[in-house]
Structure 1
Amino acid sequence: MKNRLMSLEERLLLKKRPMIEAINDILTSAFDLEHTRHRKPQNAFVHIVASLVAYQFYPNKPQVDLAKIY
């Protein structure tokens, strides 16, 4: 990857990357959000929505505070 100048916003969001990775890990491990071969695109969409709804009921959600960035 080429070196280039990063803006302040990109640098602050880059510090939040571990939190985003943790959220993705929770979605894939606890709520079975993985790529599977669905026969219809509607089934894939329903699977994604069901995982996100289940995540909403998860009691210990990690949070990214974007108010400090903007």
Structure 2
Amino acid sequence: MNPKVMKLWDHLMLRKRFIIETIFDQLKNISQIEHSRHCRCTSFMINLLAGLIAYLFQPKKLSIKMTRFDKQVLMQI
């Protein structure tokens, strides 16, 4: 396979993918945000909002630490 050219920002975020996947897993399993068919848009928004509020009350939250170099790349995009 030929190597593909990636944007620098995408390459930096791939390094932090395990943190992003862990946060998604917590949102799905602990906060019970699930991808299902809702009858109405309002019920979907209420379910999503309730899950995000539940995530905010968790004592330990993961975060992505960005270096000065990462911030400079973000500003250039």
- Per the normalisation by structure 1, the TM-score is 0.85
Which runs of no fewer than 5 residues in structure 2 stay unpaired? 72-77
Moved beyond 4 Å, runs of 4+: none
Q: How many aligned positions are there?
A: 69
- The CA deviation at 1:28 is 0.6
The RMSD of aligned alpha carbons is 1.8
Identity of aligned residues (%): 32
Structure showing greater Rg: 2
Which runs of no fewer than 5 residues in structure 1 stay unpaired? none
Match of 1:31 in 2: 31
- The CA deviation at 1:50 is 0.7
- Per the normalisation by structure 2, the TM-score is 0.78
For 2:37 and 2:13, how far apart are their aligned partners in 1? 32
